[in-house]
C-alpha cells in the first residue's frame, strides 16, 4: 500500500510487478546497486494481478537467478514455485462431449519434421503459478534493494516538454467520490519522475496504450487477443494422483470448435496440476469469436462436463478463479517507432505481454517476458549516459535474441487463423510463415448475429466466480468503466446483438438498469479488459481504478 516515503525521482521506474518488470528490476539493481530502481503495481499485493496457465521454459529465469540470487536452487521458495516439472503430457482433440483422441504422436512427428505444431510439446518445462512466481520475484527484487510498491496505480505517462523524452508517470488521485468530489481521505496522485521508464503492465496495459498513441508508435497489424478464464479446483487426493502432478493437458475441439455442430472459434482447454490437490482448469478463446451470445465461461462449463475432464474434477470445489486477456497478434502486432523500429522510444521501453511477446506456436510467453526484462536491463546499463537511444539498443537485443527468434518463427500464425477461420486456418497455419502477410481486423469487429449452439442449460454463476477471484474496489470511488455513447447501446447494439457486454464480461459488471446498459457493478471488475476489446461498437473505455483494487490472485 502507498506509504509516506518520497519516490518522486528515481533512475529507473518500472510499471508492473509481473515477471517481465521484476526481471528487469532485479537485473538492473544487481548490476548497478547505486541506481534507485522502483517498481509500482496497481494490485493490493505481490502476485495479486498475475494470472496465467502457466508453463515456463526455464532458461531466462534460471540465468536471471544464477546472476542475482545466490543459492536460489536450494531455497524453499524455489522448491515451492518450481517444484513441478512436466514429464507427461497429452494434446487432445475432442470431437464431441464424450470423445477425445490424443494427438501427441502427431505433434511429435510435427516436431521431428520441424513444423510449427511441434512447439506445443512441453516436456521438461516447469508448471508454475504466475502469482506465486511474481511473489517470489518480488521478494528477490527487494532483497537486492529494489523498491517494489503495491497499491500505486499509474494513470498517465508524462513527457519532458524540452527533450521530448519520457519523464515518468502520474499516479491516480485517491479518495474521490462517485461524482469526482474530494472526500476527507483524498490524496492527489503524485508524479514519479525517472531517467528511464519501463512499461511491463501485462496485456493491453493502460499506460502502454497511451504511450503508443502519444509517442506515435505503430503496429503493422492490430493486436489480437484471446480471453482466458481459469478455475483452480480442489479435488480428492485420489483424483489428483490419477491426474499426475507432472502432467499437463491441452485440448482442442469441443466445445468451441466441432466438425459437425459447428461452433468455429480458435482456442482450447487446459488442465494443469497445482499443488495441494488443486487442479487448474481453463478455457482460452480467441476474442474474434462471432457469436453475440457467447461467453467463454459457458465454454468452460461445457469443457468441465466433458467425460474426460469430469473424471478428474467431479465433486471438487473451486477455490480460486480469474480471467485475463492474452496478446496473440505476434510479430506484426509489436508496437514500434516507425522511424527507428524501436519497441518503445527514447528512454521508455515496452516489455513482455505489453509488447505482445507471446509465441503462438508454443502458446507461451512467460519465458519471453523474463528475457525481455533481462534485455531491457542490459540496454539501460549500456545507455546510462545516452538515455535517448535506450529503446534502440533494447530493440537490437530483442530482435537479435531469443524473443526476436521466437516471434519471427510464428509471425503469421494467428493472422492465418483470423483470416481463414479455425476450420481452414488451423491446418493452413502449419505453413503460415510461407504464406503472404494478411491484413486482419480488430477483434471487436468480428461479432455477428449468429448464436452459440452449445449453451449450457444453467447460466454460469458469475457471482461465485468473482468471489473466488477475491476482487474488490472501494465502493465509493468513481467508476473506472465508461460506456462512451448510450445511444449506440440502445439504438444499435441492443436490437442487433442484445448488449453482449452483459453476457461476455466474466464478472457480471454490466447490467440493464432502467432499460439501459450500465457498468452497474464496477467493484466486481477483474481487470481483464475484455469489454474494451470485445464491445462490438468499441464503445467502452477502461481507465485505471484507485490503487489496491481488483482481484487478489494467490495461486493462479
Q: Would you count residue 345 as binding ligand SF4 (CB under 6 A)?
A: no
Q: Which stretch binds ligand SF4 (CB under 6 A): 20-28, 114-122, 201-209, 531-539?
A: 531-539
Q: Among 5, 47, 51, which residue's Cα sits nearest to residue 150?
A: 47
* Contact between residue 271 and residue 91 where contact means Cβ atoms under 8 Å apart: no
Rounded Cα distance between 268 and 481, Å, is 29
Q: Would you count residue 542 as binding ligand SF4 (CB under 6 A)?
A: yes
Q: Among 29, 40, 39, which residue's Cα sits nearest to residue 64?
A: 29
Q: Among 159, 144, 223, which residue's Cα sits nearest to residue 197?
A: 159
Q: Residue 167 or residue 323: which is nearer to ligand SF4 going by CB?
A: 323
Q: Residue 11 or residue 539: which is nearer to ligand SF4 going by CB?
A: 539
CB of 443 vs ligand SF4, minimal distance in Å: 13
* Contact between residue 182 and residue 175 where contact means Cβ atoms under 8 Å apart: yes
Q: Among 359, 406, 203, 363, which residue's Cα sits nearest to residue 272?
A: 363
Q: Would you count residue 505 as binding ligand SF4 (CB under 6 A)?
A: yes
Q: Would you count residue 481 as binding ligand SF4 (CB under 6 A)?
A: yes
Q: Which stretch binds ligand SF4 (CB under 6 A): 100-108, 185-193, 250-258, 492-500?
A: 492-500
Pairing of strands 126-127, 55-56: antiparallel
Q: Would you count residue 137 as binding ligand SF4 (CB under 6 A)?
A: no
- Chain-centroid distance, C-alpha 145: 27
In the region spanning residues 165 to 224, those forming contacts with ligand SF4, defined by CB under 6 A, are none
Rounded Cα distance between 155 and 545, Å, is 9
Question: Which member of 139, 144, 318, 488 binds ligand SF4 (CB under 6 A)?
Answer: 488
Rounded Cα distance between 304 and 424, Å, is 27
Q: Residue 244 or residue 538: which is nearer to ligand SF4 going by CB?
A: 538
Rounded Cα distance between 475 and 546, Å, is 11
| Number of chain residues interacting with ligand SF4 (CB under 6 A) | 27
Q: Which stretch binds ligand SF4 (CB under 6 A): 87-95, 230-238, 409-417, 496-504?
A: 496-504
Burial status of residue 389 (CB atoms within 10 A of its CB: 0-12, 13-18, 19 or more): middle
- Residue 334, number of CB atoms within 10 A of its CB: 26
Q: Would you count residue 530 as binding ligand SF4 (CB under 6 A)?
A: yes
Q: Would you count residue 483 as binding ligand SF4 (CB under 6 A)?
A: yes
Question: Which member of 335, 404, 500, 545 binds ligand SF4 (CB under 6 A)?
Answer: 500
Q: Among 342, 13, 315, 28, which residue's Cα sits nearest to residue 192?
A: 13
Q: Residue 68 or residue 507: which is nearer to ligand SF4 going by CB?
A: 507
Give the N- to C-terminal CA distance of the chain in Å, as an integer: 21
Q: Which stretch binds ligand SF4 (CB under 6 A): 124-132, 197-205, 336-344, 538-546?
A: 538-546
Q: Would you count residue 407 as binding ligand SF4 (CB under 6 A)?
A: no
Q: Would you count residue 503 as binding ligand SF4 (CB under 6 A)?
A: no
Q: Would you count residue 462 as binding ligand SF4 (CB under 6 A)?
A: no
Q: Would you count residue 535 as binding ligand SF4 (CB under 6 A)?
A: yes
Q: What is the residue whose three cell numbers read 515496452?
A: 350
Pick left, alpha or beta for residue 310 (phi over 0 → left; psi -120 to 50 → alpha; otherwise beta): alpha
CB of 497 vs ligand SF4, minimal distance in Å: 6
Question: Which member of 525, 544, 548, 556 binds ligand SF4 (CB under 6 A)?
Answer: 525
Q: Would you count residue 556 as binding ligand SF4 (CB under 6 A)?
A: no
Q: What is the residue whose three cell numbers read 477461420?
A: 421
Q: Is the peptide bond before 207 cis (omega within 30 degrees of 0)?
A: no
Q: Residue 198 or residue 505: which is nearer to ligand SF4 going by CB?
A: 505
* Contact between residue 250 and residue 269 where contact means Cβ atoms under 8 Å apart: yes
Q: What is the DSSP string of 136-151?
A: HHHHHHHHTT-EEEES
Q: Which stretch binds ligand SF4 (CB under 6 A): 76-84, 122-130, 355-363, 521-529?
A: 521-529
Q: Would you count residue 153 as binding ligand SF4 (CB under 6 A)?
A: no
Rounded Cα distance between 228 and 51, Å, is 9
Q: Would you count residue 529 as binding ligand SF4 (CB under 6 A)?
A: yes
Q: Residue 141 or residue 517: which is nearer to ligand SF4 going by CB?
A: 517
CB of 483 vs ligand SF4, minimal distance in Å: 5
Pick left, alpha or beta for residue 233 (phi over 0 → left; psi -120 to 50 → alpha; otherwise beta): beta
Q: Which stretch binds ligand SF4 (CB under 6 A): 99-107, 117-125, 217-225, 530-538?
A: 530-538
CB of 490 vs ligand SF4, minimal distance in Å: 8
Q: Residue 160 or residue 482: which is nearer to ligand SF4 going by CB?
A: 482
Binding residues vs ligand SF4 (CB under 6 A): 481, 483, 488-489, 493, 499-501, 505-507, 509-510, 517, 525-531, 535-537, 539-540, 542
Amino acid at each position: 500500500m502507498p506509504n509516506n516515503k518520497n519516490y518522486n525521482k528515481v533512475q529507473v521506474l518500472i510499471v508492473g510487478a509481473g515477471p517481465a518488470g521484476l526481471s528487469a528490476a532485479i537485473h538492473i539493481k544487481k548490476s548497478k546497486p547505486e541506481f534507485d530502481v522502483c517498481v509500482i503495481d496497481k494490485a493490493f499485493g505481490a502476485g495479486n494481478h498475475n494470472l496465467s496457465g502457466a508453463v515456463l521454459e526455464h532458461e531466462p529465469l534460471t540465468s536471471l537467478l544464477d546472476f542475482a540470487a545466490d543459492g536460489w536452487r536450494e531455497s524453499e521458495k524455489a522448491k515451492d514455485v518450481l517444484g513441478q516439472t512436466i514429464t507427461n503430457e497429452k494434446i487432445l482433440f475432442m470431437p464431441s462431449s464424450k470423445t477425445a483422441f490424443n494427438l501427441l504422436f502427431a505433434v511429435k512427428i510435427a516436431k521431428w519434421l520441424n513444423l510449427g505444431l511441434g512447439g506445443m510439446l512441453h516436456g521438461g518445462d516447469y508448471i508454475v503459478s504466475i502469482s506465486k512466481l511474481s511473489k517470489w520475484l518480488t521478494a528477490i527484487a527487494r532483497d537486492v534493494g529494489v523498491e517494489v510498491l503495491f497499491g500505486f496505480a499509474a494513470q498517465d505517462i508524462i513527457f519532458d516538454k524540452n527533450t521530448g523524452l519520457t519523464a515518468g508517470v502520474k499516479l491516480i488521485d485517491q479518495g474521490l467520490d462517485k461524482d469526482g468530489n474530494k472526500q476527507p481521505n483524498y490524496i492527489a496522485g503524485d508524479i514519479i519522475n525517472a531517467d528511464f521508464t519501463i512499461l511491463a503492465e501485462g496485456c493491453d496495459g493502460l499506460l502502454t496504450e497511451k504511450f503508443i498513441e502519444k509517442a506515435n508508435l505503430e503496429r503493422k497489424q492490430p493486436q489480437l487477443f484471446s480471453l482466458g478464464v481459469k478455475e483452480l479446483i480442489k479435488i480428492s487426493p485420489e483424483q489428483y494422483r490419477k491426474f499426475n502432478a507432472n502432467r499437463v493437458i491441452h485440448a482442442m475441439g469441443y466445445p468451441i470448435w466441432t466438425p459437425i455442430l459447428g461452433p468455429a472459434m480458435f482456442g482450447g482447454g487446459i488442465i494443469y496440476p497445482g499443488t495441494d490437490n488443486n487442479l487448474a482448469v481453463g478455457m482460452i478463446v480467441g476474442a474474434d469469436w462471432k457469436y453475440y451470445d457467447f461467453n467463454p465461461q459457458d465454454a468452460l462449463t461445457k469443457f468441465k462436463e466433458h467425460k474426460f475432464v469430469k473424471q478428474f474434477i467431479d465433486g471438487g470445489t473451486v477455490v480460486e478463479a480469474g480471467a485475463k486477456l492474452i496478446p496473440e497478434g505476434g510479430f506484426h502486432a509489436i508496437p514500434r517507432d516507425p522511424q527507428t523500429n524501436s519497441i518503445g522510444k527514447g528512454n521508455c521501453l515496452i516489455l513482455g505481454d505489453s509488447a505482445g511477446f507471446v509465441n503462438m506456436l508454443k502458446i507461451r510467453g512467460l519465458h519471453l517476458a523474463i528475457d525481455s526484462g533481462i534485455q531491457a536491463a542490459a540496454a539501460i546499463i549500456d545507455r546510462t549516459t545516452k538515455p535517448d537511444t535506450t529503446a534502440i539498443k533494447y530493440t537490437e537485443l530483442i530482435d537479435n535474441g531469443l524473443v526476436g527468434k521466437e516471434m519471427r518463427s510464428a509471425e503469421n500464425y494467428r493472422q492465418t487463423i483470423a483470416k481463414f477461420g479455425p476450420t481452414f486456418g488451423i491446418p493452413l497455419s502449419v505453413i503460415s510463415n510461407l504464406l503472404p502477410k494478411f491484413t486482419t481486423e480488430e477483434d471487436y469487429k468480428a461479432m455477428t448475429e449468429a448464436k452459440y449452439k452449445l449453451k449450457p442449460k444453467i447460466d454460469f454463476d458469475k457471482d461465485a466466480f468473482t468471489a473466488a477471484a477475491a476482487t474488490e474496489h472501494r465502493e465509493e470511488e468513481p467508476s473506472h468503466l465508461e460506456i462512451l455513447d448510450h445511444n449506440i447501446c440502445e439504438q444499435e447494439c441492443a436490437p442487433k446483438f442484445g448488449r453482449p457486454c452483459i453476457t461476455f464480461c466474466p464478472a457480471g459488471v454490466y447490467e440493464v438498469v432502467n432499460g439501459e446498459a450500465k457498468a452497474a457493478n464496477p467493484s466486481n471488475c477483474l481487470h481483464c479488459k475484455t469489454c474494451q476489446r470485445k464491445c462490438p461498437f468499441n464503445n467502452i473505455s477502461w481507465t485505471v481504478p484507485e490503487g489496491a483494487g481488483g482481484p487478489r490472485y494467490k495461486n493462479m
